[in-house]
């Protein structure tokens, strides 16, 4: 990714005072105006702003945004956990990624510039804070920014390896120059007295998240790394911690004092957490107990009836127990909460197809493909639906597109071969579509 220096002198002072209209982290800032400085280049996709705490402080927090839907993070937005940190007495440097690129566009000059800026303001204590993608960045850039303590919630170690494909689309779109593997060298060559303490919180029952967290043990000094296991908290763990009102004391205990606290005292509250019940339901599902999983997700929905994730999970569970009409109804409820979420459109299309609602299925999957054209499974389902409507040539074109956007997925070739055989010998053999046994909800 090409980098272009900011045209204006570094740093640029934004005119006057910036009125904060956001309530980051669900909190409200009592003081309505804060001093704000734009640091470095402003051509994106990562933007860096400094927010001055309204009260005198010697501590500054460096934050990094997490994965977000397109448009959710803006250049003039607050970044991650801004209000929470300002109210806690930290000034903030906010790294805001307007693309989910794991901050790979950052250059050494960007980080050096932030380091010099913090030094020029006289801050003597530096902490870093981020969740998921932001947790990766908080860990990766801690040495360069001379951070004293890092709190990373459910961070990834790497997203472009086959053992975790949750962010496969973003991995295909990103060139990785800045890796967690670099930390071994960075920490070994850090200047004397630049020791940092690293706190990584994760759900040990979320196997992929645990895999990421444990890999940090291979690149960070054992005496400086603390792995904090928070069972059934899901990804990322901050949702669960917020549910049980433990996020604030937990984060502040680490950022201020290097002490993890606030979890044990809140254990009794976890059964009132939709996130916790959601994770228990997923766990029951993974143990092939869909009816127990349904009981748990229903309990979570009583606490949070508008949750898109809960309705999506319930749709999948109803499908597993054979209630296709119920699964379709739940898919529609999920989509009502996020009409442009491509994964919800896929689920609706899949359930509508199984219910015989071909036109509804086609409309949903075509919208999903238009929003996110880089996922092969979406083109594959579109091919199946087109074929069921007798549109063979369009079905072939769709599965060919699936193979182009996901060349590593070899399972599409069998379906393509069957379609081509049918084109050459109409009616010669029954065609079995991919995914005919189960969905991927």
Same domain, 223 and 292: no
Residues 204 and 329 in one domain: no
Q: Are residues 82 and 128 in the same domain?
A: yes
- Same domain, yes or no, for 305 and 406? no
- Length reported for the chain: 441
Average pLDDT, the chain: 88
* The pLDDT of residue 17 is above 90: no
Same-domain status, 213 and 136 = yes
> Is residue 2 domain-resident?
no
Query: Which residue segment(s) compose the domain that 420 sits in?
Result: 373-441
Segment 307-357, tens digit of pLDDT: 999 999 999 999 999 999 999 999 999 999 999 999 999 999 999 999 999
Structure-token pair, residue 44? 């994106």
What pLDDT shows up at residue 439? 45
Are 251 and 285 contained in the same domain?
Answer: no
| Of the residues 268, 297, 321, the one at which a domain ends | 268
CA-based torsion, 386, 387, 392, 395: positive or negative = positive
Q: Are residues 226 and 261 in the same domain?
A: yes
> How many domains does the chain divide into?
3
Distance in angstroms (rounded) separating the CA atoms of residues 220 and 198: 8
Angle between helices 274-286 and 308-320 (to 10 degrees): 20
Q: What is the pLDDT of residues 212-256, one digit of tens each?
A: 999 999 999 999 999 999 999 999 999 999 988 899 999 999 999
Q: What is the pLDDT of residues 33-54, one digit of tens each?
A: 577 788 877 788 999 999 999 8
Domain assignment present for 1: no
- Mind listing the pLDDT tens digit for each residue in 196-207? 999 999 999 999
CATH code: domain of residue 391: 1.25.40
User: Above 80 in pLDDT, residue 265?
Assistant: no
Sign of the Cα torsion 117, 121, 124, 130 reads negative
- Domain shared by 202 and 290, yes or no: no
Looking at the structure, tell me whether residues 286 and 392 fall in a common domain.
no
């Amino acid at each position: 990714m090409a980098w272009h220096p900011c045209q204006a002198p570094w740093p640029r002072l934004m005119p006057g005072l910036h009125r904060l209209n956001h309530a980051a982290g669900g909190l409200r800032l009592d003081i309505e105006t804060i001093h704000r400085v734009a640091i470095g280049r402003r051509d994106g996709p990562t933007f860096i702003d400094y927010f001055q705490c309204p009260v005198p402080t010697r501590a500054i927090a460096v934050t990094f945004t997490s994965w977000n839907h397109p448009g959710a993070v803006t250049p003039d937005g607050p970044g991650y956990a801004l209000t929470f940190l300002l109210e806690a007495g930290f000034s903030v440097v906010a790294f805001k990624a307007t693309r989910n690129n794991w901050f790979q566009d950052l250059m050494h000059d960007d980080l050096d510039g932030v380091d010099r800026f913090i030094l020029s303001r006289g801050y003597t204590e530096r902490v870093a804070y981020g969740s998921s993608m932001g947790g990766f960045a908080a860990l990766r850039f801690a040495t360069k920014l001379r951070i004293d303590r890092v709190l990373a919630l459910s961070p990834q170690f790497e997203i472009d390896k086959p053992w975790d494909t949750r962010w496969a689309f973003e991995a295909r779109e990103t060139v990785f120059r800045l890796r967690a593997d670099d930390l071994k060298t960075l920490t070994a060559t850090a200047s004397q007295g630049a020791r940092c303490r690293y706190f990584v919180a994760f759900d040990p029952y979320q196997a992929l998240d645990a895999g990421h967290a444990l890999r940090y043990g291979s690149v960070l000094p054992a005496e400086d790394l603390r792995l904090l296991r928070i069972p059934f908290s899901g990804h990322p763990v901050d949702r669960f911690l917020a549910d049980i009102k433990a996020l604030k004391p937990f984060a502040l205990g680490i950022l201020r004092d290097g002490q993890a606290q606030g979890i044990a005292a809140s254990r009794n509250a976890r059964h009132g957490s939709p996130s916790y019940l959601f994770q228990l339901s997923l766990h029951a599902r993974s143990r092939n107990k869909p009816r127990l999983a349904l009981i748990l997700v229903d309990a979570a929905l009583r606490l949070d009836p508008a949750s898109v994730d809960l309705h999506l999970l319930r749709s999948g569970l109803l499908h597993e127990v054979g209630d296709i009409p119920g699964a379709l109804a739940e898919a529609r409820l999920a989509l009502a909460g996020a009409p442009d979420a491509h994964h919800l459109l896929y689920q609706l299309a899949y359930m509508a197809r199984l219910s015989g609602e071909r036109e509804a299925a086609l409309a949903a999957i075509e919208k999903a493909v238009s929003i996110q054209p880089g996922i092969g499974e979406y083109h594959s389902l579109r091919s199946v639906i087109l074929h069921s409507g007798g549109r063979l040539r369009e079905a072939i074109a769709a599965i060919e597109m699936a193979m182009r956007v996901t060349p590593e997925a070899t399972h599409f070739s069998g379906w393509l071969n069957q379609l081509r055989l049918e084109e050459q010998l109409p009616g010669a053999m029954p065609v079995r579509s991919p995914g005919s046994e189960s969905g991927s909800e």
